[in-house]
Chain A
Amino acid sequence: MDQGEIKRLLQAYRPGTEDADDPAFQEALASLESDPALAAWFRTEQAFDAAMIAIFRDIPVRDAVKDEILQQARDRK
């Protein structure tokens, strides 16, 4: 696996999901232990991901739609 492929995998890696059991991701993650520059790059990637996740939490959700779904379910009983 070359450096480009390792970085692509690490950019798509989501900790805490089934990806952690995937051999391809495991191989990419193992590369971090022997490559400090790659580990630093990965930390930056994760920090960017965390920033995006925090921003996207602000997307407005119309709770009235949820209420409508629940009301319709009750009406159909």
Chain B
Amino acid sequence: MEGSPAKQSARSYPHLGFNDFVEQNFTSAYRFAFCLSLAHDRAARIVEAAFHEAKALQETEATVDKIWVLERLHQKWRACHPARFDPEVEQNSDRPSIRVGDAAGMECDAVLKILHSMNPAYRLVLSLFYFEQLGANAIGRILELPPATVVSRLAEAKVLLRQLLEQTRHTPSAASA
């Protein structure tokens, strides 16, 4: 599995006007920033900074797209959070996993609370996989990881997520309707 350079497209900036570029990518950027920072104020700050950088590139030959924005968000967050980033062994294969039907009935807040409790290494791959519906190669570019590492991390993270969802479902205060 090899990473490949970001594809340029008509959805990139400056092919798009800046306003259209922001309109098309703001939601993705904000959700990812929120997943990184776990706080709306911090998310807002790094999103603003990333888009201002994109705007500044208008004067250069550079082309930026959604992947570029997500990469910059991750880099900005990492610059302030240089702590160890390897996932710890948190899995226990004996723990029950939630069934699909039960997972579908859970509320966003409850699932987000679980996501935020997870190691960042897992949280980030899950957020890009589920929020942005990106594949392993694109996730690897954003997080600066080999695609094979993304695959392993995603597989572990999804198993853990299902176990934590099932655990939460049996906690009356955290479970959804």
Contact = CB atoms under 8 A, between A and B. Distances in A.
A48 B138 contact: no
Interface of A: 7-9, 11-14, 17-20, 22, 24-25, 44-45, 47-49, 51-56, 58-59, 61-63, 65-66, 68-70, 72-73, 76
Interface string B43-58: 1100110011001000
Q: How would you classify the secondary structure of chain A's contact residues: helix, strand, loop or mixed?
A: helix
Interface in B93-110: 100, 103-104, 106-108
Contacts, number: 115
B4 A69 contact: no
Interface in B1-48: 1, 4, 7, 18-19, 22-23, 26-27, 30-31, 34, 40, 43-44, 47-48
Given A18-B135, A65-B47, 15 more contacts: A8-B152, A12-B136, A12-B155, A13-B135, A18-B4, A19-B137, A51-B103, A55-B107, A55-B111, A56-B131, A65-B26, A65-B30, A69-B26, A69-B48, A70-B19
